[in-house]
Structure 1
Amino acid sequence: MTTTAPRTDRRRPRRDPRRVRIGLAATALVCVVFLVLELPAYLGVDPARSRVPVRADDALHYPLLWAHIMFGSVALVTACLQIWPWLRRRHPRVHRWSGRVYLFGGVLPGGLVVLGVAPVSSTGFASSVGNTFLAVLWLATSVAGYRAVRARRFADHRAWMIRSVALTFSIVVNRFWVVVYVVLLSLVDPTDPELIPHAATASVWTSWIVNLLIAEWWILRSRRSVTLPDPVRGAPGEP
């Protein structure tokens, strides 16, 4: 006679909704503060007020930079809506439309125009390569997420959009990493004339690589939290 133990679910504890709300509120607040501090410099379309050094030898540099910042701002705002679970559950139509705005009004145009800005970075070749990688990955993950949802592969859609949003937020955390590297490099050699460019270059790479690693960890953690049945216990012939 074969006996089979009842299957039990192995599930990680559900995330605390209060902690989720606090995390989302903090993320949205940081994005708002970032936009309030950064965006006004570009609203007047004045190259002299640009936070990023403008290439005087490239007439398209500032227009492309300006367009990227405008489209990127749209992506940041709609990304905050995309990661809001309450909105996704209660108002799926709003979630879908904000997702379309995120992709077609933010990521796609913003990613394409930055491909014209990245190769002429004012902080050197390494920054150009880092920003180009970021733009390509930003576009690729977002398009993959859109294709997945069109094919109704919702789990894949969620994973790709987590990666996309992580890359979107890289511009925000970039400012944090610049400060970190300025402090660290100042401890090594405070008289280095290239200290700021070096810090800027390092922050370009760190901002999106760390964000992407965190996104992958989150995706794997979420997949492991899916209900998994215990293996069937017992074997034929056991009493």
Structure 2
Amino acid sequence: MTSTSRVPWWRRPWIVPLMLVVAAFLAFSVPPYLTFDPAQSRLRPPEGNDLYYPLLVGHVLFGTVAMATACFQVWPAFRARHRVGHRITGRIYVYAGALPAGVLGLYIGWHTVAGPSVLVANLVGSALWLLVTIVGLRKALQRRYDEHRRWMSRSFALAMSIALSRVINVPAMIVLTPQVDTAFGGNAELMRNTATSIGVWLSPLLLLLLTDWILERRKPRAPRTAPSLVDSGTPAAARL
């Protein structure tokens, strides 16, 4: 049994808040799409595109699976004590969550009506999510588990970026709203699209930077050893 498995869940103070945040976000975001009524959609579908809304619903549902299972993937005690459960939820995360949600995200992002900046951000975010997830899966299949953990941590960060983007949108809207008549020429829709753009660009960047910072901090450090006489620059005569 590893030291990680002996740490009680309450000694990981971020586990419960993470799950509560994910549960609150999903409880707020998902129900409108369970009605399968386009009028309830939080994203305005492009005119004349009948495929957009069904694929958006699929993206939301697959994304829900990804966010729910990702919480267990990053829970150290669950990984250590329930190896089979970790593998099962990992496969669910990849095959019924991240990969289909990422593929559908490319379509949803390409057809967004929120402007070119949001379009590019959504395409880049979905492509990165797919890439890091596939690399993480490949590392697991190769049994390179340390690298697998690093890449899947990045996948987790991108999965959670949608929730952070909604949080960032709030202060962005507060800051930009007074500038509607000046910076945006009275165009309130352009202001909203700009605020949305700030969220979808900034959230994955911040979470990826935070994730890699945490991963670097947790890297095992090489033990320090006293320098040998040969390597210390001691003259040869003194070593005889």
Within 2, Cα distance between the matches of 1:227 and 1:139? 31
Residue from 178, 197, 200 that aligns with 2:196: 200
Specify the code of the residue in structure 2 equivalent to 1:230.
R
Encode CA deviations 1:139-162: one digit per residue, 9 max, x unaligned.
Answer: 010110010011011110011001
Specify the code of the residue in structure 2 equivalent to 1:213.
L
TM-score (norm 2): 0.87
> Is the alpha carbon distance of 1:17 and 1:217 closer, same or farther for their aligned partners in structure 2, counting shifts above 3 Å?
farther
Structure 1 unaligned spans of 5+: 1-15
Using CA pairs under 8 Å that are at least 6 residues apart, name the structure with larger relative contact order, 1 or 2: 1
Partner of 1:13: none
- The count of aligned residue pairs is 221
Partner of 1:232: 226
Within 2, Cα distance between the matches of 1:155 and 1:94? 18
Encode CA deviations 1:110-161: one digit per residue, 9 max, x unaligned.
Answer: 1111111111112111111100000010001011001001101111001100
Partner of 1:93: 84
Partner of 1:148: 139
> Is the alpha carbon distance of 1:196 and 1:19 closer, same or farther for their aligned partners in structure 2, counting shifts above 3 Å?
farther
Specify the code of the residue in structure 2 equivalent to 1:186.
T
Within 1, Cα distance between the matches of 2:89 and 2:82? 11
Within 1, Cα distance between the matches of 2:204 and 2:158? 6
SS at match of 2:42: coil
Deviation at 1:56, TM superposition (A): 2.3
C-alpha RMSD of matched pairs (Å) = 1.7
Runs of 4+ off more than 3 Å:
16-20, 236-239
Structure 2 unaligned spans of 5+: 1-6, 231-237
Percent of pairs with identical residues: 34
Within 2, Cα distance between the matches of 1:238 and 1:26? 60
Do 1:55 and 1:62's aligned partners in 2 also have CA atoms closer than 8 Å?
Answer: no
SS at match of 2:13: helix
Encode CA deviations 1:38-95: one digit per residue, 9 max, x unaligned.
Answer: 1110001110000111112211111111110000000000000101111101111000
